[in-house]
Structure formats: C-alpha cells, structure tokens
C-alpha cells in the first residue's frame, strides 16, 4: 500500500498516522487488513482505546479517516465540542484549575497542606548513585530460574511505568493545575520519577547480561502482553478528553497506589529472605516516594468541587484491582518466588480499600476474594 495524505495528516504504510499540523485525528488509510496498533504523536495506542479526537473506539476515527464520508464529521465535531465545553465549564469552577496570574508566583502560600507535602517530597530526594548494587550479582546468580524470571519481569514493568506516570504529569496535570504549590509538587515528582526509571534500568542492566534479553525487558510494553495491559489502562486515561480531572486523579492514584503495590510487596518478600540488598533498598526508597504521590493525589481530590460520584470512583478502583490481581496471580504469579497468590489478592484489595478511605469513600466489599 502506498503513502496517502489528507489535509491535516499523512498515513504511512501499515496504518501509522503522523500529524502534519494541528491535532492528530488518528485517521487510517483503509479498512482492509487493519493493523493491531498504530502510532500517533510518538506513542503507540491500541485499538481497544478510544480515538483522541472523536472518542470513537475500535481504532477507526469517525472525524478524519480518509476512507469515511465527509458527512460524518460535523456530528462528531459537535459531540467533541460539547464534551470539551462541559469539561471546561467544570474546570472553571475548580479553584485548583482556575487560571490566574498568581500561578507564576509561589508566595504567599495559599495551600499550606499542599506546600507541606511538596517540602516532604523535597526532603526525601535521593539518586541512583546512592544504591550499592555490588552485592546483588552474587545473589542473583544463586537464584532459581523462576525467581530470576519473576524479578526481571517485575523490573521491566517498573522501568516503563514511571515514564507513563511522567507523561501524564507533563501532558495533563501540570498543564491543568494552576495552583503554584501543586505545580511545585508535580515538578519535583517528575524529577524523582526519572530517578526511579534510571534505577530500574540500572538494575536490569546489572542483572541481565544477555543483550537480547535486556532489550526484551526494556521494551516490555511491546513484548509482554500483561505489562502492555497495565500500560494501556494508564495511557487511556492520559488520552481521554471526555473524563474529568477528578476521574483522572483517581485513576493515577490507582496506578501508583494499586498497580505498584503488589510488585513492591513481592520485592519486600525478597528482603525478608535476606536477598538482593541493592534491589530491596531501592524498593524501600521508591515505595516511599510512590506512597507520597498517592497521598498527594488524595489531597488534590479532597480540594475538588466537582468530584466524581462514589459509584464512578469504585468502578475505576475495582477495575485497577482486577488488572493487578490478574497480573500477579495469573500472568506473573507470585508463586514463582514462594508467595501465596490468594494472600496477594487479599493484600491488593486491602490497598484498594485504604485508597478508597483516603479519597473519602467507604470500602469495597463486593470483590470475589475478601478475607477480613
């Protein structure tokens, strides 16, 4: 298939859409033999997700696909405009999101609790150079093959996930939130997430000597379906123009509070066995940081005027729980390192209940496995 162009974008063979001017409309060259995924603005988006412009699902843009009739565009543009206007109106009601020239100046502090959390994050700063990995390699070489498999795949998930968190901070939260105290926190969070990503990459680089295996792990979002599933869930929220700020705050609280919790617990299990001191020390530092980020999301949520309903919040949290439980008990079972899969499910549900409580809602007691 040759290259085709429309007025606002070009489509490469294989279905890759690259914006030439204005927002990318995610068009696709034809409907025959459609690709499973396509590339847009330097990111890959699965067909299961909705189009960034028209919000249609199934991988076909209803606004700008060259193969679709021109008559389909006005209706979709009207719907998109309506959704955008509604969200903008709600944003104007939110003190955190309301534009003001005061956003350029920090003092006087208007939100002392947000500022306090920023200073707490600042005081916890660390770098990858502080972690001694010299004793880890002898431990690694003595691990069973199942244990090596589990640890390397957990690290692969972590190496990609911090970059996704930063993408949300850069593209959405830092641009939406107008309160300087919160912007300070987000700016510092971006910095420390980079440290986390560097740390996980160093761990993989230290333990995995085979270049092909290393490349496989560094490309986990492409090579591991169960990592891709978690990544896609987070990326969908970044791309979603219909969701409210409050819904996305809950979603990324779930990413940092639920998607990371089971993996942190699995690495702590290795510490209990006296293994991998460098890995387990870095895990302590990173889990502390992510706990603070999750707490900050809950603090931001409490300031919202237009909060999502309890039903909607529960829906987001339960969905994240189900994905994390599947990840650590089926796709990458913790039984590989001697942990109990049933207890891991219980722990993930406990973490979800704690998050719901911090958000101001009651615990969920309708999940399949619950031992309280």
pLDDT in tens, 111-127: 999 999 999 999 999 99
Catalytic residue among 200, 303, 370, 372, which?
200
Is the previous residue joined to 286 through a cis bond, with omega within 30 degrees of 0? no
What structural domains and CATH numbers belong to the chain? 140-359 (1.10.620.20)
200 among known catalytic residues: yes
Q: Identify the bridge partners of residue 39 per DSSP, sorted by sequence position.
A: 44
What's the CA angle centered on 239, arms 233 and 243, to 5 degrees? 90
| Model confidence pLDDT, tens digit, residues 276-309 | 999 999 999 999 999 999 999 999 999 999 999 9
pLDDT at 86 over 80: no
pLDDT at 372 over 70: no
| Model confidence pLDDT, tens digit, residues 61-72 | 443 433 333 333
3-state helix, strand, coil in the chain (%, to 5): 60, 5, 35
pLDDT (mean) for 92-106: 87
Q: Of 302, 327, 321, 308, whose CA–CA distance to 363 is shortest?
A: 321
| pTM for the full predicted model | 0.74
Write out the two tokens for 291: 């706990």
């Amino acid at each position: 298939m040759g290259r085709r162009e429309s007025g606002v974008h070009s489509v490469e063979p294989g279905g890759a859409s690259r914006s030439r001017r204005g927002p990318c409309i995610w068009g696709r060259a034809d409907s025959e033999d459609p690709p499973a995924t396509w590339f847009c603005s330097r990111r890959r988006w699965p067909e299961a997700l909705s189009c960034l412009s028209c919000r249609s699902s199934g991988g076909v843009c209803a606004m700008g696909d060259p193969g679709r009739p021109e008559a389909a565009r006005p209706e979709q543009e009207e719907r998109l405009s309506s959704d955008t206007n509604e969200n903008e109106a709600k944003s104007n009601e939110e003190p955190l999101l309301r534009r003001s020239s005061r956003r350029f100046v920090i003092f006087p502090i208007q939100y002392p609790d947000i500022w306090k959390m920023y200073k707490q994050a600042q005081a916890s700063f660390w770098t990858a150079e502080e972690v001694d990995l010299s004793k880890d390699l002898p431990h690694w070489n003595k691990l069973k093959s199942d244990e090596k498999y589990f640890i390397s795949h957990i690290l692969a998930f972590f190496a990609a996930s911090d970059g996704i968190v930063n993408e949300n901070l850069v593209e959405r939260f830092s641009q939406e939130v107008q309160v300087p105290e919160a912007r300070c926190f987000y700016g510092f969070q971006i910095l420390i997430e980079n440290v986390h990503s560097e740390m996980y990459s160093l761990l993989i680089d230290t333990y995995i000597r085979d270049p092909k295996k290393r490349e496989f792990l560094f490309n986990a979002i492409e090579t591991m379906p169960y990592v891709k599933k978690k990544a896609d869930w987070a990326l969908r929220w970044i791309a979603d123009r219909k969701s409210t700020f409050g819904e996305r705050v809950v979603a990324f609280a779930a990413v940092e509070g639920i998607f990371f919790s089971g993996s942190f617990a699995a690495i702590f299990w290795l510490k209990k066995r006296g293994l991998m001191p460098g890995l387990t020390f870095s895990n302590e530092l990173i889990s502390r940081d992510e706990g603070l980020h999750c707490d900050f999301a809950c603090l931001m949520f409490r300031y919202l005027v237009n909060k999502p309903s309890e039903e909607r919040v529960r829906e987001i949290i339960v969905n994240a729980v189900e994905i994390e439980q599947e990840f650590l008990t089926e796709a990458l079972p913790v039984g590989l390192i001697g942990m109990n899969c049933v207890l891991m499910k219980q722990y993930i549900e406990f973490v979800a209940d704690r998050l719901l409580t911090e958000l101001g809602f009651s615990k969920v007691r309708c999940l399949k496995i619950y031992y309280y």
